[in-house]
Amino acid sequence: MSTAICPGSFDPITVGHLSIIRRAASIFDNVVVCIMFNSTKISPMFTIEEKLDMACKAVADIPNVTVDTFSGLLVEYAKRYDKPVIVKGLRAASDFEYEFQMNLINKRLNPDIDTMFLPASEKYTFLSSSVVRELAHYGANLKGLVPDELIPFIEEKAKQWR
Give every CB contact of residue 17 below 8 A, 6+ residues apart in sequence.
6, 8, 10, 58, 89, 129
Instruction: Looking at residues 28 to 57 of the shown chain, list those that interact with ligand PNS (rule: CB under 6 A).
Output: 36-38, 41
Active site residue 91: yes
Active site residue 129: yes
Compare residues 105 and 116 and give the one whose CB is closer to ligand PNS: 105
Element (H, E) at 77: helix 74-78
**Residue 90 contacts residue 8 (beta carbons within 8 Å):** no
Active site residue 39: no
**Residue 24 contacts residue 31 (beta carbons within 8 Å):** yes
Compare residues 87 and 139 and give the one whose CB is closer to ligand PNS: 87
Q: Using the rule CB under 6 A, is 73 a contact of ligand PNS?
A: yes
Q: Using the rule CB under 6 A, is 89 a contact of ligand PNS?
A: no
Q: Using the rule CB under 6 A, is 79 a contact of ligand PNS?
A: no
Residue 85, φ and ψ in degrees, nearest 5: -115, 130
Q: Which residues are catalytic?
A: 17, 41, 91, 129
Binding site for ligand PNS (CB under 6 A): 7-9, 36-38, 41, 73-74, 102, 105
